[in-house]
Structure 1
């Protein structure tokens, strides 16, 4: 495609006029250059009409490029960079940065307001500093989903986007494959209990479910049968078999793989599933996930972890087919159709791109599995925008654990695409690794990689809240 990307007819455009911004307080505060490598910088802040806060940092020697940063799930605090070290490096290179908190009056799953607030922040900042020569959007985790939406809707407002560990499969896919894992733990490890998995009435209810499921996994780890079933739940969760500060297990070290998957459970990953589920249910007005009608036999057959689970079940003397059939029989959770439709409207991505997008992801992401990139890419290609998308992968475990060098190199690659209208080879793992290493910062680990298929047994179409 050409360097000039024209907006499509009918594509929703968010045009927030300056006149529509109420109570925007702009405060210019010169920051002291305490660190020798930090340039003189002006800090700006303000408030949007929905009470969202925004911040921006502008170096005195601004290179004309503004970076619009979308932060991930958590406290609704304005942020303009993924990490302090990244901010320091990019300010030194002359970039200005901005970002908002999103609406602080709503759910922590802030997709109802985030894209609107990000564009409003762009308006507020440019009113203060002038029109940038170039505007790039960056986002990570939940902010990666927001950023993919900005890349879809932002033609004419942004020039390109960089995603990091983005939740790009969307909110309903996320809740559905997590439900598959939670259902497996509840059905196979707590068969006599009625475990509440959806429609939480409070954060305390979500926390209680996370605690109950985690205790069940901890107890199960003591037996071969329990470990086999933990591996099955991990397969449905798309959980990597590579945990922090550990060497990656060998390809056929089935017990070693399960031990490292258990590490993630022991470190409290289920709490990171249930609290966001409660927040998403608040945001979309109900339960947007379901398992009624899901064939857990067929779903398991497509998992890249199937050989591991088969081996552990055989070693434990368990009947895998019987467990899978029990999961299918016990799958009775239905979605609230209105919540599914709302999630499709606010919490999905991949329906197209207006600007070039570079996605980078760690290969061992425990919270947003790298397999989400496979799902997202398929949707972008189906929309006809595959030429605008490039994906690159970093061989490291953990969520959003990128080095500063990896982030900056990816940004430079995106800028090449915008300047020339061509990706050429700048987004290949070899080129990104070379570029990141040449920065002399904190190292890099870009590698050739192809994500497996995301294990999720249904789509997120608002008109189809059950599996077909």
Structure 2
């Protein structure tokens, strides 16, 4: 064999041997690894971030809802997994851990500080989308108002966008109704709780009164009146939606919400809001409970149940108005207006998504928010979409991702087009083949609240 051919064959053999024996890197080893970051802000708040190896350059800044001040960067574990898989980076803060769980005094500031921390630690994103859920939806609306140059767009999920004072006022109306009509003669403290335990005890007392009242037609009529003031949905989990004229069925489902501990959440929330505001920011002195009911979408139900029970609605409404004597602390109202309101304007596009039967943050809050945005001449920046489902923040992962994609496309295009239309969102969500979707055309009723923070009683 010629020497040249021999050397060539030997080289080929060596190459083949190396090809067979050399370790081959797996796809996981070749792909950049996901990274998790954490840090502490100036006020003691913590921030976290998750950055996928295939980061697409977009950061989602997540504002979490009411509860323990623990940093979160996604609305759910399933949404986090799906968003990271799509290349989105995620970040969010705890808010100031030293104050109230109604952390509106620090939340927006801490979220902006989180953006700075992310940029200094990870790098500056090419695009930032603010996302907020529940109470964090209110924070998110503030960011959409104030965040020009820092965020490019915003997505609100089940947001408490009517603000803290509207919330406490319509809840006070419902609490006043339950206390005055179901516990006549008792002096039930409804504001100014000294401790969380005091708030919990009042919630237990009112819940027991509701449970007892449900056993009589008169009690059920009065529960329906309180539910109207609470803007409480009449479609509860695990049940079929009652017909528009099935007034008894509507009340039974409103009672189901109340019996499941809703009042405990309301009273605990009031304690936290008052902690944050430095006093009571709600009032009912001077409120006409007849006029308030007349503006409620639930008025026909209330009238029908009162007639069936043989009760005088006029007498009860007059008693509620005459005994309404709660006066707000003006300083607390001013503080809540400064820290716990939104809707005075928008500086970036905002898409709000809400379930149609939300027991904790009524979908009617979106009507109040839209009116304020429109009054600021920023209606063109706002779109609102609705999911037909019972429960607070009860979105599927597909619905959440479709909403993220919609605001992302709005930022890219510079105009809304049809990206936030219910049909587009539904098709986008179903195309993900995840866990279903129920976007639909919907227009919420007006929020039953009857007064504004700028015209409160002293």
TM, length-normalised to structure 2:
0.93
Determine the C-alpha separation between the residues in 2 that align with 1:282 and 1:410. Answer: 34
Determine the C-alpha separation between the residues in 1 that align with 2:349 and 2:429. Answer: 20
Determine the C-alpha separation between the residues in 2 that align with 1:261 and 1:465. Answer: 29
Structure with the largest fraction of helix: 2
Residue of 362, 365, 369 corresponding to 2:358: 365
Residue of 76, 81, 105 corresponding to 2:69: 76
The gaps in structure 1 that reach 5 residues or longer are 1-34
| 1:221 partnered with 2:214 | yes
| 1:465 partnered with 2:456 | yes
Q: Size of the alignment, in residue pairs? A: 429
| 1:189 partnered with 2:186 | no
SS at match of 2:228: helix
Which position in structure 2 is the counterpart of 1:267?
260
Q: CA offsets, 1:249-302, max 9 Å, x none? A: 111111111000000011000011001100111111000000000010001001
- Give the superposition deviation at 1:415: 1.1
- Give the superposition deviation at 1:115: 0.3
Are the counterparts in 2 of residues 53 and 78 from structure 1 also a CA contact under 8 Å?
A: yes
Which position in structure 2 is the counterpart of 1:169?
162
- Give the superposition deviation at 1:39: 8.7
Following superposition of structure 1 onto structure 2, how do residues 413-452 of structure 1 map, counting pairs within 5 Å? 413-452=406-445
Residue of 386, 405, 428 corresponding to 2:379: 386
Query: RMSD value over aligned CA atoms?
Result: 1.2
- Give the superposition deviation at 1:466: 2.1
Residue of 194, 207, 211 corresponding to 2:200: 207
Following superposition of structure 1 onto structure 2, how do residues 29-48 of structure 1 map, counting pairs within 5 Å? 40-48=33-41
Determine the C-alpha separation between the residues in 2 that align with 1:437 and 1:324. Answer: 47
Structure of higher CA gyration radius = 2
SS at match of 2:104: helix
Are the counterparts in 2 of residues 188 and 229 from structure 1 also a CA contact under 8 Å?
A: yes
| 1:398 partnered with 2:414 | no
Are the counterparts in 2 of residues 144 and 167 from structure 1 also a CA contact under 8 Å?
A: yes
Are the counterparts in 2 of residues 73 and 141 from structure 1 also a CA contact under 8 Å?
A: yes
| 1:374 partnered with 2:367 | yes
Determine the C-alpha separation between the residues in 2 that align with 1:446 and 1:61. Answer: 30
- Give the superposition deviation at 1:40: 3.8
SS at match of 1:90: helix
Which position in structure 2 is the counterpart of 1:10?
none
Q: CA offsets, 1:355-388, max 9 Å, x none? A: 0000000000000000000000000000010000
Determine the C-alpha separation between the residues in 1 that align with 2:148 and 2:113. Answer: 15
Question: Which ranges of 4 or more aligned residues in structure 1 deviate by more than 2 Å?
Answer: none
Following superposition of structure 1 onto structure 2, how do residues 94-105 of structure 1 map, counting pairs within 5 Å? 94-105=87-98
Determine the C-alpha separation between the residues in 1 that align with 2:295 and 2:113. Answer: 43
SS at match of 1:46: strand
Are the counterparts in 2 of residues 352 and 385 from structure 1 also a CA contact under 8 Å?
A: yes
Determine the C-alpha separation between the residues in 2 that align with 1:50 and 1:158. Answer: 22
Residue of 318, 321, 332 corresponding to 2:314: 321
Determine the C-alpha separation between the residues in 1 that align with 2:244 and 2:92. Answer: 42
Q: CA offsets, 1:409-434, max 9 Å, x none? A: 01111111111111001101111001
Determine the C-alpha separation between the residues in 1 that align with 2:92 and 2:122. Answer: 14
Determine the C-alpha separation between the residues in 2 that align with 1:433 and 1:301. Answer: 35
Compared CA separation, residues 323 and 138, structure 1 to 2 (3 A):
same
TM, length-normalised to structure 1:
0.91
Residue of 270, 274, 282 corresponding to 1:277: 270
Are the counterparts in 2 of residues 39 and 92 from structure 1 also a CA contact under 8 Å?
A: no
